[in-house]
Amino acid sequence: MQITDISLWGVALMVVLMALAVALFLLIDRREMMRVLKVFGLTLGQMILAGVGVWLVYKVDAWWMDILWLLIMLALSGAWCLYEMKWQVKKLALPLAAALVAGCLVAGGSMMLTLPGRCFVSVFGVLLAYMITSITLTLQTYQRCLYHTESHRLYLQANGATKLESLMPGIRRALRASIQPQLRTMAQPLLVAMPLLFAGMLLGGASPVAGVFVLLLLMVAAFVASVVAGVVAVGLYSKLSC
Amino acid sequence: MLELNEVLVEGAANTVSMMAQERQMTCLTGGTAQVRSHLLLAILGLVPVKSGFVNIDGEPLERQTMKKLRKMMAYVPSELRAEGEVTVYEPPSVQDLFMLKDNREAAISNGLLTEEMKRTCAPQEKAQLLAMAVLRQRPILLVENPAIESAGYLKGLARDGRIVVVASEERAILDMADEIIEI
């Protein structure tokens, strides 16, 4: 699809419909309306920034620009994870950075061997989105687990467990948490609710066969990225903090 | 022989020195429950000692020797509970403990465990923790706040040749002890 395929009249209609929907909220729930407007405004602003970034990457069309974009995205993803985890920079910066890089290298690297170079931005964009949720959930679950089971760990270590053996229940729980978001998405009835990614590829002009195939590949890559990132995050966190 | 030499742990006001011998039940008493618990964990090398040192059969408990010496001990906590609020609490099970590499050679079965639990005479939860530690067959047994009903059983374990160190304030336990160490 090209920008020229979009009808201006259609856009105008959408804006009017949006204004009507907001007006309805103005009548029934003014506070919620303000929230809706704020979220829409933020989304618009971020989409413009993201769009400009990706446009630049496509415009320059060089390997170094792709890498630069990835580095910026890695830094932003790390910062977002830290924000979600209340800025525990000292404890989490290293495990987070290593997890993001490892996930990208393993899963993203394999995907780039499979797909053409122009897919770089979309592939890493999807992987980072999955990894942010997965790493945050993994580390949050692990930290909670370590706190709740402190006496367990002492008990197990006092009765024959190595440090790793005593940490295993927490590690198991954290890794289970790392794949939950993706499993939830995959467990949706796909025939009823079409995956957004698939719909996006169809909008972009991909054939349905290619769309399904790439979607499945991306799901596998995202799963691998989540597992690799989870293992690295938990492993490093244990080494540094336990 | 288990020796504590001027050991000071977190929260304690005084240092502790003692010599726990085979075939003896030694009781640590006084101080707060937390300090007594810290002392037992310090013997295991699981909490740091502020000053002083722990010796087991003449070998000092240090970073290098900790793993080896810990293999000689079994520990029974006062209770197992989760820190903070949790919706579902799953304490380590008998399987969790005896699946550990270090415990795989210990003789364990449902029958043996039930029998040992009966011998302890303690209420269900405490009996299970104590029986699990005893079935690990280690020469040193460290017990935190045992049930008073288990006093005779612990004394019996000591008579069978183990070093039994108990942390308790209960009169019934103190009466059974061969040596009492006031913290």
Chain B nearest-CA distance from A131, in A, is 27
The number of distinct structural domains making up chain A is: 2
Residue in B46, B81, B136 nearest the CB of A154: B46
Examine the domain organization and report whether A96 and A201 are in the same domain: yes
Q: What is the pLDDT of residue B68?
A: 93
Please, is A24 exposed, middle or buried when counting C-beta atoms within 10 Å of its C-beta (0-12, 13-18, 19+)? exposed
**Binning pLDDT at 50, 70 and 90, where does residue B158 land?**
very high
Mean pLDDT of B143-159: 96
The domain boundary, picked from A34, A60, A86, lies at A60
| Structure tokens given for B89 | 């609490």
B19/B159 Cα distance (integer angstroms): 17
Q: What is the pLDDT of residue A182?
A: 85
Strand-strand pairing, B163-167 and B140-144: parallel
Q: Nearest Cα to A240, choosing from A42, A92, A135?
A: A92
Examine the domain organization and report whether A54 and A116 are in the same domain: no
Asked if A159 and B132 come within 8 Å (Cβ–Cβ), the reply is: yes
φ and ψ of A236, to 5 deg = -70, -40
Q: What is the pLDDT of residue A195?
A: 86
The domain boundary, picked from A60, A85, A103, lies at A60
Q: What is the pLDDT of residue A121?
A: 95
Q: What is the pLDDT of residue B129?
A: 95
Chain A nearest-CA distance from B103, in A, is 6
Examine the domain organization and report whether A41 and A120 are in the same domain: no
A131/B100 Cα distance (integer angstroms): 33
**Binning pLDDT at 50, 70 and 90, where does residue B110 land?**
confident
Interface test with A, best of B41, B78, B100 (most A CBs within 10 A): B100
Q: What is the pLDDT of residue A33?
A: 85
Identify the sign of the CA torsion B105, B109, B114, B115.
negative
**Binning pLDDT at 50, 70 and 90, where does residue B159 land?**
very high
Examine the domain organization and report whether A123 and A157 are in the same domain: yes
A77/A136 Cα distance (integer angstroms): 10
- The pTM of this model reads 0.84
Is the separation of the CB atoms in B121 and B149 below 8 Å?
yes
Residue-wise pLDDT tens digits, B54-71 = 999 999 999 899 999 999
pLDDT beneath 50: ranges in chain A: none
Give chain B's domains with CATH numbers: 2-80+89-182 (3.40.50.300)
| B45: CB partners within 8 A, 6+ apart | B54, B61, B66, B69, B70
Note down the domain range covering A11. Answer: 1-60
Residue in B44, B86, B96 nearest the CB of A158: B44
Residue-wise pLDDT tens digits, B67-94 = 999 999 999 999 988 888 887 778 888 8
More confident position, B106 or A75: A75
Q: What is the pLDDT of residue B109?
A: 86
Q: What is the pLDDT of residue A3?
A: 84
Query: Is A2 an interface residue toward B (CB < 8 Å)?
Result: no
The domain boundary, picked from A60, A87, A108, lies at A60
More confident position, B103 or B90: B103
Residue in A148, A149, A157 nearest the CB of B46: A157
Q: What is the pLDDT of residue A30?
A: 84
Examine the domain organization and report whether A147 and A37 are in the same domain: no
Interface ipTM above 0.95:
no
Q: Please state, rounded to an integer, the average pLDDT across all residues of chain B.
A: 93
Examine the domain organization and report whether A160 and A184 are in the same domain: yes
